[in-house]
Amino acid sequence: MADFTSSIWSWGIGLVTVISIIALFVFAMKLSGRRKKPGEQAESVGHVWDEDLHELNNPLPRWWLNLYLLTLIWGGIYLFLYPGLGSFSGYRNWSQQNQYVAEVEQAELQYGPIYAQFLNQDLNDLARNPAALTIGARLFATYCTTCHGSDAGGANGLPNLTDQDWLYGGDPQSIKTSIMDGRQGVMIAWQDILGTEGVFNVAEYVRTLS
């Protein structure tokens, strides 16, 4: 719930939701108790089509009612475990932010050691490291191809990275600065997005393109 709303809205939403599920459950149970006795004729509801096609008040199929009851039970379990009742965060206390933090922590555990081995290496040494270049190529494909193209030839009006013409210098340090801090054109700063190790890997990959 937004910060500017009163807590009464949260309670109201939760109460209406719970009462609705209970009411539907009771209604479904009442319908499930209806059985047509052997030989009993179903009553007409009064609707007739094409002169002789009558709508009959037959009980609903058992499989349909059972499936409907299962959906109500599942809905109740879901609302208990996850957010959905106003500001109630659910028993599992799930949120998009918590999931994001958990995924970042998992990625750090998985990829942190891989990047750590490149952190203190010289750029020239990284240029000869196949593993670093492979990672740099993947990062380039993910973050850089929109402007520079999948072949690094550059989109319209944007730099071609495959030739020997460099606007801000083609040495490793200049490329690193361009990636980390961005340039005054349309190049944004990638330091916070790629991280230091990612910048090193992309820089060395870019150098290999020309």
What pLDDT, in 10s, does the model give residues 23-42?
999 988 887 776 666 766 77
According to the model, what pLDDT value does residue 80 have? 93
According to the model, what pLDDT value does residue 36 have? 65
Question: Cα separation of 60 and 68, whole Å?
Answer: 11
Q: How confident is the model over 165-181, as pLDDT tens digits?
A: 888 888 888 888 888 88
Amino acid at 123: L
pTM (global) more than 0.75:
no
State which residues of the chain have pLDDT below 50. 1
DSSP alpha helix (H) spans, the chain: 7-32, 62-81, 96-119, 123-126, 130-143, 145-148, 172-181, 191-209
